[in-house]
Amino acid sequence: MDVAFGPPLVVSDLSSPTWHEQAVARNRAAADAAIEAVRGALMAGAAYERVLLRAAAGAGKSHTLKHMVGVVLKHPLCRRVGITAFANKQIFPLAGDLGRALGKDRVCLYVSKAKAGDVGASMRDDATVVSSMKDIPTSVEVLVATSHMLGRVGSQIFKHLGPAADGKKLFDVLFVDEAWQLPLHLYRNIDHLARVDVGVGDVGQLPPLDPGENPWRGDPGYNPYRAWPTDFDRDTRTWSVELPAVWRPRIEQLALWRAFYPEWDNLDSVAGPGDRSVDVEPLADVAAQVWAAVASGVPTLVEVEGLPEPEAPDVDTPLLGVVEEWLDELLGAGFTVRAARYSEKGTPDGVTDVELAKPGADPLVAVLATRNQAVDDATAMVARLIEKHHLADGAVVASTVDSWQGQTNAITVAIHPLSGASQLDEFNSAFGRLAVTCTRATHGLLLVSRAGLDELLDHAAARPGTPFGEPGNRLLPRQTHQRILQAFQRARIDVSATHETTNPKEP
């Protein structure tokens, strides 16, 4: 069977060489401007209370945050900084990296007793780790803790450590990683701890689900899960800048990244032409054509028709079965991903090859699902494939989209959230969920859907406003989906000849 892929309607512009050192230099210039804003606030030369670095997915925001911490600590009016985020999995690597860069005695990770066992031995070698407030060194310069911890015991920490350089606050500067994930009501618990707050994060991230007590619950005019930076877009005491380059995507994926961030003045890729590739061993028939398309680096969407009806739009065993067939052939044949290495300035510095038999730190394939049974089905599929092909740990993983944000993998495989839908709703039109799905991969992206996406979007009722829980200003969901689809190469495959056309659950 021949699979005809139509080219994307919007493609990455390769005519202007704004990659490598040029792209990284622009990110550094944005970070330096933010540092100047922080210095002005520390010197009382500016009335800023917040400095925001808005980042696209894979912009190296954590690297930028760590760079800023090192620079700010050299300021004569900065004696102590705080580092916080919503979750422990976000702050643990920051504490380790900062401890290695600045010295173990200068960086303290304060973690609850319940989570102390999650801190590995290598992290304890890199940073001072405590689970009791009295053990926080009084000379600490960088204190790392979750927003929940600082919000709950910040005043007691102040009594233990005393004020920072200004004589009034616990911190001179409080850095918030993944700031667009932090709900406003949790930020309100920590916004008094420092003279100036610095928020760094991806504006397209999904807000976390917070089971805690919410003081604004029940107010119909307030979204309690809205990320806190969105409340300060037009505040005169807030300074903001965009990081204009991304490290994660292949340059062939850049048009898709730009589709998710249309309000960005500029968005360029550190990776240049030829910097990354996927070498797939010989395959046959449909699988060969699908994986060749994915290996090109251009985001790929395959719509499948001729399948039995699904149990539900997000519980689609027949469609997942097609995905399993294609993955089975890919994993049976094997493949290698190649990537250029870069210096901190973005200069190419060698090449790394990673084979399926010897995966690296990041998974080679991540299968992302949405919720409920779909997650269990994807997990079971991956388990079968791992066992059948005797794959090494970490080569192929399955995850929910929500829990995979902040992660990186070589190839992403996912069911499009609108697959099989009859209308747009808050869940399948959530901008953040689709953004996370499409921006994890460094080498290739495959979305699979039942046929009919265009028809759905052409006839779906327009829904005014922004879907509940999404940070930032967004277009109508229908228009957003249509714009993003223009960055995909697309094909439609009829599998009716090889699949049953009746529901197997029926007698």
Percent of the chain with pLDDT over 70: 90
In angstroms, the CA 275 to CA 348 distance is: 9
Most confident option among 69-78, 218-227, 415-424, 454-463: 69-78
* Helix, strand, coil share (%) of the chain residues, nearest 5: 35, 20, 45
Token pair for 291: 């994986």
**Strand 335-342 versus strand 348-355 pairing type:** antiparallel
**Cβ-based burial of 499 (10 A; exposed 0-12, middle 13-18, buried ≥19):** middle
- Confidence band, pLDDT 50/70/90 cuts, at residue 460: confident
Predicted pLDDT at 220: 47
Predicted pLDDT at 504: 35
Q: Residues 323, 381: contact at Cβ < 8 Å?
A: yes
- Confidence band, pLDDT 50/70/90 cuts, at residue 262: confident
First CA to last CA distance, the chain: 32
- Confidence band, pLDDT 50/70/90 cuts, at residue 265: confident
**Better-scored residue on pLDDT, 312 or 336:** 336
Q: What's the whole-number mean pLDDT along residues 464-468?
A: 52
Cα-based distances in Å from 343 to 21, 62, 243, 350: 9, 16, 18, 10
- Per the DSSP assignment, residues forming a β-bridge with 490 are 6, 301
Among the residue ranges 101-105, 199-203, 264-268, 441-445, the one predicted with the least confidence is 264-268
Asked if residue 314 has pLDDT above 90, the reply is no
Q: Residues 405, 436: contact at Cβ < 8 Å?
A: yes
Predicted pLDDT at 223: 54
Predicted pLDDT at 1: 77
Average pLDDT of the chain is 88
Which one-letter amino acid corresponds to residue 473? N
Q: What's the whole-number mean pLDDT along residues 368-377?
A: 85
**Please, what is the angle between helix 317-333 and helix 372-389, to 10°?**
30
pLDDT, tens only, 419-459: 988 888 877 877 778 889 999 999 999 999 999 999 999 98
How far from the centroid of its chain's Cα atoms is residue 331's Cα?
26
Which one-letter amino acid corresponds to residue 484? I
Predicted pLDDT at 299: 98
pLDDT, tens only, 15-55: 667 899 999 999 999 999 999 999 999 998 778 999 999 99
Cα angle 488-492-497, degrees, rounded to a multiple of 5: 155
Token pair for 389: 């092909």
| CB proximity list for 390: less than 8 A, separation 6 or greater | none
Report the candidate in 363, 276, 282, 269 with the shortest Cα–Cα distance to residue 60.
Answer: 269
In angstroms, the CA 414 to CA 398 distance is: 10
Q: Residues 63, 245: contact at Cβ < 8 Å?
A: no
In angstroms, the CA 36 to CA 52 distance is: 12
Asked if residue 461 has pLDDT above 90, the reply is no
pLDDT, tens only, 154-196: 999 999 999 999 999 999 999 999 998 888 888 999 999 999 9
Predicted pLDDT at 45: 74
Predicted pLDDT at 229: 86
Report the candidate in 26, 25, 69, 24 with the shortest Cα–Cα distance to residue 51.
Answer: 69
Asked if residue 328 has pLDDT above 70, the reply is yes
Torsion sign over Cα 168, 169, 170, 173: negative
Predicted pLDDT at 207: 62
How far from the centroid of its chain's Cα atoms is residue 392's Cα?
25
In angstroms, the CA 80 to CA 140 distance is: 7
pLDDT, tens only, 294-307: 999 999 999 999 99
pTM over 0.85: yes
Report the candidate in 192, 229, 190 with the shortest Cα–Cα distance to residue 207.
Answer: 229
**Better-scored residue on pLDDT, 399 or 231:** 399
Q: Where are the alpha helices (DSSP H) in 460-507?
A: 477-485
In angstroms, the CA 313 to CA 425 distance is: 12
Q: What's the whole-number mean pLDDT along residues 319-341?
A: 96
| CB proximity list for 16: less than 8 A, separation 6 or greater | none
Size of the chain in residues: 507
**Better-scored residue on pLDDT, 294 or 476:** 294
**Better-scored residue on pLDDT, 482 or 142:** 142
Token pair for 96: 């380790």
Token pair for 350: 């060698």
**Dihedral pair phi/psi, residue 313, rounded to 5°:** -55, -35
The three-class DSSP label of residue 475 is coil
Predicted pLDDT at 507: 32
The full 3-state SS of 327-372, as one line of letters, equals HHHHHHHCEEEEEEEECCCCCEEEEEEEECCECCCCCCEEEEECCH
The three-class DSSP label of residue 107 is strand
pLDDT, tens only, 114-163: 999 999 999 999 999 999 999 999 999 999 999 999 999 999 999 999 99
Token pair for 478: 């229908």
All structural domains of the chain, each given as residue ranges with its CATH number in brackets, are 20-246 (3.40.50.300), 297-325+358-494 (3.40.50)
